[in-house]
Chain A
Amino acid sequence: MSKQIKKKICLIGSFGVGKTSLVSKYVKGIFSEKYLSTVGVMISQKAIQLPDCEVLLMVWDLAGEDDFQGLRLSFIKGASGVLFVADGTRSETLQLTQQHIDRLGEFYSDIPTLLLLNKADLKDRWEITDAHLNDVESRVEVFHTSAKTGENVEDAFSRITEMMISPEERAMEAFL
């Protein structure tokens, strides 16, 4: 029987980009149209079975800050992965994400990261274009997600989980 590996994953982004909705969709399969602001930190868990091991994801949903200085880096310590979240309908949320990526890179350059461009169900209202993404796509893998329809939500979390588990950990679990 394989041992469970615990992994901490943080979601970072401006308020209202849909971080909590993405977590809710992924962990509980629920989406609510009602916007409910997160205060502080909300931690959810989800166990996922990989071919060679079971992973318990501790998902840290950090309240959206519109000031990148407000990001408490100490809460990211111990994280195995970070999901940056931006709202495709608000271009400034991508600018803030780029600042977050820079800042995080100064302290935790080796943590796997993904960028989720959320609200893919509202693509006709997107302000973020391919031109905006030229720079960012060279630095981080990008998923277009929709917490509402579920588009790419499972895939994005699966991808970051895959990135977080090192070959050594997999080998160790397989050996056990």
Chain B
Amino acid sequence: MASDLAHQFSDRSLSSEADPLAAVLASLDYIVLERGGDGAFHLRGTAPQWFASVYGSDIKSAIAGSPFLSCFVNEIALPFWQAAPAAPVRSGIWTEVDEQGEQHFEAIAMNSANSPPLLVIQSLGLRYEEIQMLTQRANENALEHRQLGREVQKKDVLLKCIVHDLNNPLGAVLLNLEVLAMSNDEEVQGAALLALEAARRQRSLIKSISEVFSSDLSRLGRDRECAEEVSELVRGAAYVVNMHLNQALRRSVSILLEDGLTGSVSGNRKVSGELEPFVRAVENLVLNALRYAPRDSTVTVRIAAQEKGIQVQVEDNGPGVEPNLISGLFDPFIQGTTNQGAMGLGLYFCRMTVEQWGGAIRYDQAPGGGARFVFTLPWVVTDAHNSDGS
């Protein structure tokens, strides 16, 4: 059939030898049709075998007989050819169904100043399967993402209800305890102050749980788009260090900020992240370090540029993390055996925050045996700064 087609158009088309490019295109399953001044299409080179088996040997009736192709030619390609030369226009994929099953094609209309209008049609063959598979996967992922989003939303609503129901009676308890704490009876006052402290701690715990499991999780996906200038993040790290200087001093611990960013990269270069949650993440790590740092030791916060982003380290000279806790260290409600007032949510918050921005967090043992928490945030690629850091 293909040879019949080639024969039929041999007098009007260029031979494969005269047009090696058309021969190459035919071998790649493209058919190249040239639109003449009379509006008729003429074959250039040879036609691939599929064309005759799908459309027959007559080009005019082939185009007219394919609803998709005639729509593309008449509605898209013709106005395109009649306009000034421009970049090729693709039809997108279409599927023809016949006795042999489904066959998939794409057409391209070309209009350059140096050649007559061309219509190129390709049989996609196995390439279609790849495209279909990718489309399928993308669609399935989008549906799954939506489903997960709905589940998170439901949990968020439930959590808000629980937090609301826990907070309401607690407010009344706190109010009454504050009144009792003003009692002239020392015994009552002492008991009330103890109860007040416990109730405040409970309120703080409820707040922490609400923050970690509600607002931050519900921002999943959105935060990847946040970008913050490195100078702001250095300022945020310095703020955390200054905030906790007195607390550290009371325990004879120093806090040191080693700023390896300022001066090494432009201050307005951006990484994925947002100042406020960044400060909270660094603060969680610093508080954690202060909790375990021995007297007369130093907690060091390092911030430095790397090829793919910035790295933040918080290191102490404490006992380090118990080996059996390391694998689940960033899971919620993980507490060391000494506990020391932690709720087990700080590191989980850090992980959620950093991962939302496309970064990563890990635990290393510090050279001196203490704990070292390391997290990275990727550069945001802009026109001014490409990904290789230049």
| Chain A residues whose C-beta falls within 8 Å of the C-beta of B128 in the assembled complex | 39
Give B70's nearest chain A residue, CB to CB: A78
Once A35-B140, A37-B132, A37-B139 are accepted as A-B contacts, the answer to whether A74 and B76 lie under 8 Å apart by CB is yes
| B132 contacts A39, C-beta separation under 8 Å | yes
- Which bracket fits the contact residues of A? 20 to 34
| B67 contacts A72, C-beta separation under 8 Å | no
The answer for the CA separation of A85 and B278 in the assembled complex, in Å, is: 44
The answer for the CA separation of A43 and B98 in the assembled complex, in Å, is: 11
Residues of chain B from 110 to 153 with CB closer than 8 A to chain A in the complex: 128, 131-132, 135-136, 139-140, 142-143, 146
| A41 contacts B76, C-beta separation under 8 Å | no
Partner of B68, one of A36, A37, A43: A43
A94-107 contact mask (Cβ, 8 Å, vs B): 1 or 0:
00000000000000
The answer for the CA separation of A37 and B142 in the assembled complex, in Å, is: 12
Stretch at the interface among B3-11, B39-47, B87-95, B203-211: B87-95
| A40 contacts B92, C-beta separation under 8 Å | yes
| Chain B residues whose C-beta falls within 8 Å of the C-beta of A41 in the assembled complex | 68, 92-95
The answer for the CA separation of A139 and B67 in the assembled complex, in Å, is: 29
Once A66-B142, A77-B75 are accepted as A-B contacts, the answer to whether A58 and B67 lie under 8 Å apart by CB is yes
Interface of chain B: mostly helix, strand, loop or mixed: helix
* B19 sits at the interface (CB 8 A): no
| A75 contacts B71, C-beta separation under 8 Å | yes
| B139 contacts A42, C-beta separation under 8 Å | no
Once A16-B143, A39-B131 are accepted as A-B contacts, the answer to whether A8 and B67 lie under 8 Å apart by CB is yes
Give A36's nearest chain B residue, CB to CB: B136
* A26 sits at the interface (CB 8 A): no
* B172 sits at the interface (CB 8 A): no
| B139 contacts A43, C-beta separation under 8 Å | no
| B136 contacts A43, C-beta separation under 8 Å | no
| B95 contacts A37, C-beta separation under 8 Å | no
* A15 sits at the interface (CB 8 A): yes
| B97 contacts A72, C-beta separation under 8 Å | no
Once A15-B139, A16-B139 are accepted as A-B contacts, the answer to whether A43 and B75 lie under 8 Å apart by CB is no
* A159 sits at the interface (CB 8 A): no
| B136 contacts A37, C-beta separation under 8 Å | yes
Partner of B97, one of A8, A43, A78: A43
| Chain A residues whose C-beta falls within 8 Å of the C-beta of B142 in the assembled complex | 15, 66
* B232 sits at the interface (CB 8 A): no
Once A15-B142, A37-B132, A90-B146 are accepted as A-B contacts, the answer to whether A74 and B75 lie under 8 Å apart by CB is yes
| Chain A residues whose C-beta falls within 8 Å of the C-beta of B75 in the assembled complex | 74-75, 77-78
Residues of chain A from 1 to 55 with CB closer than 8 A to chain B in the complex: 8, 15-16, 35-37, 39-44
| Chain A residues whose C-beta falls within 8 Å of the C-beta of B140 in the assembled complex | 35
The answer for the CA separation of A8 and B140 in the assembled complex, in Å, is: 30
Q: Closest CB-CB distance, A63 to chain B, in whole Å? A: 8
A74-91 contact mask (Cβ, 8 Å, vs B): 1 or 0:
110110000000000010
The answer for the CA separation of A63 and B75 in the assembled complex, in Å, is: 19
Q: Closest CB-CB distance, A162 to chain B, in whole Å? A: 22
Q: Closest CB-CB distance, B322 to chain A, in whole Å? A: 46
| A43 contacts B135, C-beta separation under 8 Å | no
| Chain B residues whose C-beta falls within 8 Å of the C-beta of A15 in the assembled complex | 139, 142
The answer for the CA separation of A37 and B131 in the assembled complex, in Å, is: 10
Q: Closest CB-CB distance, B153 to chain A, in whole Å? A: 12
The answer for the CA separation of A54 and B210 in the assembled complex, in Å, is: 65
The answer for the CA separation of A64 and B143 in the assembled complex, in Å, is: 13
* B96 sits at the interface (CB 8 A): yes
| A72 contacts B92, C-beta separation under 8 Å | yes
Give A40's nearest chain B residue, CB to CB: B93
| Chain B residues whose C-beta falls within 8 Å of the C-beta of A39 in the assembled complex | 93, 95, 104, 128, 131-132, 135
Q: Closest CB-CB distance, A102 to chain B, in whole Å? A: 21
| Chain B residues whose C-beta falls within 8 Å of the C-beta of A75 in the assembled complex | 71, 75
| Chain A residues whose C-beta falls within 8 Å of the C-beta of B102 in the assembled complex | 42
| Chain A residues whose C-beta falls within 8 Å of the C-beta of B67 in the assembled complex | 8, 43, 58, 60
| Chain A residues whose C-beta falls within 8 Å of the C-beta of B139 in the assembled complex | 15-16, 35, 37, 64
Q: Closest CB-CB distance, B97 to chain A, in whole Å? A: 7
| Chain A residues whose C-beta falls within 8 Å of the C-beta of B104 in the assembled complex | 39-40
Q: Closest CB-CB distance, B100 to chain A, in whole Å? A: 15
Residues of chain B from 63 to 101 with CB closer than 8 A to chain A in the complex: 67-68, 71, 75-76, 92-97
| Those 6 A-B pairs whose CB atoms lie nearest each other, nearest first | A40-B93, A37-B136, A41-B94, A74-B75, A42-B95, A37-B135
- Would you give 25 A-B contacts (Cβ < 8 Å), ordered by A? A8-B67, A15-B142, A16-B143, A35-B139, A35-B140, A39-B135, A40-B92, A40-B94, A40-B106, A41-B68, A43-B67, A43-B68, A43-B96, A43-B97, A44-B97, A63-B135, A66-B142, A72-B92, A74-B76, A75-B71, A75-B75, A77-B71, A77-B75, A78-B71, A90-B146
Q: Which residues of A contact B (CB under 8 A)?
A: 8, 15-16, 35-37, 39-44, 58, 60, 63-64, 66, 72, 74-75, 77-78, 90
A16-B143, A41-B68, A41-B92 known; 12 other A-B pairs, CB under 8 Å? A16-B139, A36-B136, A37-B132, A39-B95, A39-B128, A39-B132, A40-B95, A41-B94, A43-B96, A43-B97, A60-B67, A78-B75
